[in-house]
Amino acid sequence: MTIAGRLNREDYLRKKIMKLNLNSPKVAPFIFVLPFVLTLGIFFVYPICSTIVMSFQSVHINDIRFVGFENYRMLINNTILPTAIRNSSVYTLLTLVLLIPFPMILATMINSKAMRGSSFFRSILFLPLLCSVVVAGLVFRFMFMETNSALVNSLVINWLGGDMVRWVSLRWPAMILLVTLACWRWTGINVVYFLSGLNSIPVELYEACEMDGANVWQKFRYLTIPLLKPTSIYVLTISIYGGLAMFVESHMIWAGRSSPSNIGLTIVGFIYQYGIKQGEFGLASAAGLALLVVVLIIVLTQLKLSGVLGKEKG
């Protein structure tokens, strides 16, 4: 292309760009949502699509073949998948039971006028979230070591008068270890959610209650809990997702290897084991899609039951 030609072309392009008025109400919204749409497309839609394709393939290095429903057949016949599902479900249930009521109570306490140093407790509770889960996993692994002198076992032996607990070898101790780690880590963020919910409850309502002679418990039971419902539903939703997607914690505690009797195997751990550790990306993709469907069904059911879905219409 000649220099003159190039100049002409540049001129044309510049004019075209000038014509595209970025400030116009028609264009601006698209510009604003573009980053989100791009992120969604690149990091969510594309991976999901390619996972769907891969779940019908046998995927090895430079050796990709379509195998139909073979991966799904293997997934259904797999004998360790039920263990993974059971572990993830039990873990999720336990975290729900512990990580919704207690943060709610803690948040109410912190929010109370009688509480001294509430900002101190707020930051202390939030601190674990800032700590890398890898580091936390290692520290917990050492705290829960299977020796008499390890921190937790020495407490068990000296205070409770029990025997040394084999934390990383037996099913229930291992579950307690994982749930403890989850509580330590997630209490703070749930407290923050509930605090923001509490702040949106008008003070007048509490004053009116007091006029009617309600005590602390009655205020909590008949005012705080019902008015925190939107927050609780949000926390419940993310906790279900977080529980079912748990992986790094158990990965750190068993140092990336299989746990005895698969006591630490979670659904995502299962995907990791087959996909990354054994190089069976096809099977892992099938498992990942199954997890996606299961989580979607659970969360949608829960949202439907709690009346969040379809609320606008009703």
Q: Point out which residues bind another protein (CB under 8 A).
A: 60-63, 77-79, 142, 145-147, 164, 166, 168-169, 251, 255-262, 273, 276-279, 281
Classify 160 in phi/psi space as left (phi over 0), alpha (psi -120 to 50) or beta. alpha
Element (H, E) at 176: helix 171-199
Which CB, 119 or 149, lies closer to another protein?
149
Which CB, 146 or 233, lies closer to another protein?
146
Q: Comparing C-alpha atoms, which of 214, 211, 236 is closest to residue 224? A: 214
126 alpha carbon, distance to own chain's centre = 16
Element (H, E) at 66: strand 63-66
Which CB, 101 or 279, lies closer to another protein?
279
Three-class DSSP category at 284: helix
Which CB, 155 or 276, lies closer to another protein?
276
Which CB, 23 or 77, lies closer to another protein?
77
Our CA angle for 291, 296, 299, nearest 5°, is: 120
Minimum CB distance to another protein, residue 159 (Å)? 20
Minimum CB distance to another protein, residue 259 (Å)? 7
Minimum CB distance to another protein, residue 23 (Å)? 23
Give the span between the Cα atoms of 52 and 288, in whole angstroms.
Answer: 9
Q: If 0-12 CB within 10 Å is exposed, 13-18 middle and 19+ buried, where does residue 31 land? A: exposed
Which CB, 231 or 249, lies closer to another protein?
249
Which CB, 112 or 148, lies closer to another protein?
148
- 194 near 112, Cβ under 8 Å? no
Cα torsion 133, 55, 262, 236: sign: positive
Give the span between the Cα atoms of 67 and 59, in whole angstroms.
Answer: 10
Residue with tokens 């630490």: 264
